[in-house]
Structure 1
Amino acid sequence: MSRGVSTRILDHIVHLTPPGTLQDSADALRKLGFTVSPGGTHADGQTANALVVFADGTYLELLHFTRPPPVSASTASAAAQHPWGRKQPGWIDYAFLGNAGTPSVAETINRRAVADRSGAHYAHEVRGGRKRADDGRVLEWLITAPEGDGTSVRGRLPFFCGDVTPREWRVPLEPRSNTEHANTAQGVAYVKLLVSPGDLDAYAKELTSVLGVSPLESSASQIVWELEPQPSHAGGHDTTHRTPTLVLGATNGEDEERYVRERGAGIYELGVAVTDAGRKGIAHTPYGRIVWEITTN
């Protein structure tokens, strides 16, 4: 890490559903035992969200486009130019915690990437925001995103969200009921990315530049980085013995190969930490894959 700026604090994971289906998405997550909190509409008016907030301070952003893009292929729609406009439903992106602009996250990562010769590159910070649905409060933040075509770069490398207004406005940890889930979810155990075996090493090198630390574990088929806990989390939540990890795996089998072929390298599954020892196995959102990970907190 450079000059006090951390670039490995997980903030949230973005889950996309088709235009106009935000309520359906929220209902599907509730059926899996999650508590869904109101979100709002983003400043550009193109997208709106709802939130699944965890006690560890991370959250799931349930996102949809408020209007579908025009049917005509010749019409250049704003949604199509949006970084997520051409994404398929499911886990499409992940955010780490940024800052209010100083020191610059982009400059920090870009310096590392030049030194590492990894090829990772981030654009300078841009302002973003949304209006909360429940009380109309306007939230503001700075986004630091990888540069390149949105269909290939966004979701492959993380973007960063740095709060200009207080983070608790964006991530409502209070009342405590927002972070209490019937399925006993406490937070994110891991985010797993998939890539073709031939691209594993290059992808890992980029991620190491972004995170600023060497992997915790590394093999020919999987590389794991330890992330840092969220500074803001629900009162009484113990973050000392469990921190999330970022897992990069090489595809193994036809299903995983098809997933990367159709969607590109990026998020394959999300590990959710739960305290219910009887909750094991895999669940679906239905567009995204969740693996329940038993934890003591």
Structure 2
Amino acid sequence: MATSTLDHIVHLTPPGTLKQTVEQWRELGFNVIEGGVHTDGFTENALVIIADWSYLELISFTNPPSHYPPSSPRHTHKWASRAPGWIDYAFLGNGILRDPNGPGGRGPPRISDMVNQRWAGLYRAEVPGGRTRPDGVRLEWVISAPAPVGVLQLPFFCGDVTDRRKRVPAIPIENTVHPSGVQGVSHIRILVSQSDFSLVADQINAVVDAAAFERSDGEAKWHLSTLNGRRSPTLILSVPVDGEEVGFVQGRGSEPGIYEVAFWVEEGGKEGSAVSPFGRIVWVK
């Protein structure tokens, strides 16, 4: 199984702001549909389904930290301390939770096993996840997350247990049609410090099981795939090139540094760039 298929990109806004965020993204030219509340009850989302069958997850915590007692798991949620903006990205997993060589016999490998064969200890063992849609349909998946070692600009994997078409409703096709003319993800650009660049680039090589098709001392690029793409998205790892980008990296520390997400648009579609409530967007032909 390929380990470089783009599944979705995560955009976080402050607690309780999901409805406001949905309206802001609609004003930017995106068709936004309802998502639902996650199993733990701490987060809720809305979705922007792209014609290449990847999607944007617009997510927020349902309540601020002060709403919960000190012992609540809300405080240790992996995104609990994240600043709003583009916070994460996911590749498509295979939905396998159990160790195929453990009790119960052999079977297909877990994503974590596949990647850890290339770079030992890079990913944790899988954990289950889920969400209930507003129409009551229950969705289940398996998450394969990078281990907390070094900098964390690596994707997590989301592998469906229930039918992915229920999680990512690309049908009817109207769900993937956007007023801005967006047809697919063009690139995801991640910024890291010069001192972290080489390590992160080598780790991404291990994740996608391929060397960057273009690499210099300050930038590396990888081809990704999508389930229904006419153009391959590019994953770009860069060091900062101006003062704004330096400030972005310094403000993020060791957190994933997704600086911008670009979309390719059909002829006559939107052009240029914009800043969503908390993240940079680029439209390209």
**Count of residue correspondences:** 272
TM-score (norm 2): 0.91
Farther-moved stretch of structure 1 (193-202 vs 59-68): 193-202
Distance in 2 between residues matched to 1:288 and 1:19, nearest whole Å: 16
- Note the aligned Cα RMSD (angstroms): 1.8
Whether the 8 Å CA contact 2:4–2:224 is kept in 1: the answer is yes
Distance in 2 between residues matched to 1:164 and 1:75, nearest whole Å: 33
The one-letter amino acid paired with 1:187 is G
Distance in 2 between residues matched to 1:58 and 1:244, nearest whole Å: 10
**Percentage of identical aligned residues:** 46
Is 1:87 the equivalent of 2:82? yes
The one-letter amino acid paired with 1:203 is V
Q: Superposition pairs for residues 213-228 of structure 1, below 5 Å?
A: 213-228=210-225
The one-letter amino acid paired with 1:267 is I
Equivalent residue, structure 1, for 2:274: 283
What stretches of structure 2 of length at least 5 have no aligned partner?
A: 97-107
Equivalent residue, structure 2, for 1:19: 15
What stretches of structure 1 of length at least 5 have no aligned partner?
A: 115-119, 234-238
**1:160 corresponds to which of 154, 157, 161:** 157
SS at match of 2:115: helix
Equivalent residue, structure 1, for 2:99: none
SS at match of 1:257: helix
The one-letter amino acid paired with 1:182 is P
Which whole-Å deviations, capped at 9, do the CAs of 1:30-50 have from their partners, x for residues lacking one? Answer: 001100011000000000000
Equivalent residue, structure 2, for 1:203: 200
SS at match of 2:34: strand
Cα 1:85–1:11, aligned 2, differ >3 Å: closer, same or farther? Answer: same
Is 1:52 the equivalent of 2:72? no
Q: Superposition pairs for residues 31-70 of structure 1, below 5 Å?
A: 31-70=27-66
SS at match of 1:106: helix
In the TM superposition, residue 277 of structure 1 has moved relative to its aligned partner by: 4.4
Q: Superposition pairs for residues 114-153 of structure 1, below 5 Å?
A: 114=120, 121-133=122-134, 135-148=135-148, 153=152
Distance in 2 between residues matched to 1:6 and 1:222, nearest whole Å: 23
Equivalent residue, structure 2, for 1:192: 189
Which whole-Å deviations, capped at 9, do the CAs of 1:163-203 have from their partners, x for residues lacking one? Answer: 00000000011111110000000121111100011211111
Cα 1:76–1:268, aligned 2, differ >3 Å: closer, same or farther? Answer: farther
In the TM superposition, residue 221 of structure 1 has moved relative to its aligned partner by: 1.7
Distance in 1 between residues matched to 2:194 and 2:263, nearest whole Å: 26
SS at match of 1:70: helix
Distance in 2 between residues matched to 1:181 and 1:277, nearest whole Å: 12
Equivalent residue, structure 1, for 2:247: 258
Distance in 2 between residues matched to 1:9 and 1:276, nearest whole Å: 26
Q: Superposition pairs for residues 222-241 of structure 1, below 5 Å?
A: 222-230=219-227, 233=228, 239-240=229-230
Which whole-Å deviations, capped at 9, do the CAs of 1:241-285 have from their partners, x for residues lacking one? Answer: x11110000112221111111113421100111114463221111
Equivalent residue, structure 2, for 1:106: 112
SS at match of 1:124: coil
Distance in 2 between residues matched to 1:201 and 1:277, nearest whole Å: 39
Whether the 8 Å CA contact 2:91–2:157 is kept in 1: the answer is yes
Distance in 1 between residues matched to 2:179 and 2:86, nearest whole Å: 22
Equivalent residue, structure 1, for 2:101: none
The one-letter amino acid paired with 1:30 is R
SS at match of 2:210: coil
SS at match of 1:139: strand
Is 1:30 the equivalent of 2:26? yes
SS at match of 2:78: coil
Cα 1:152–1:131, aligned 2, differ >3 Å: closer, same or farther? Answer: farther
The one-letter amino acid paired with 2:226 is P
Distance in 2 between residues matched to 1:213 and 1:284, nearest whole Å: 32
Which whole-Å deviations, capped at 9, do the CAs of 1:102-143 have from their partners, x for residues lacking one? Answer: 3210011111014xxxxx61011110000001x110000000
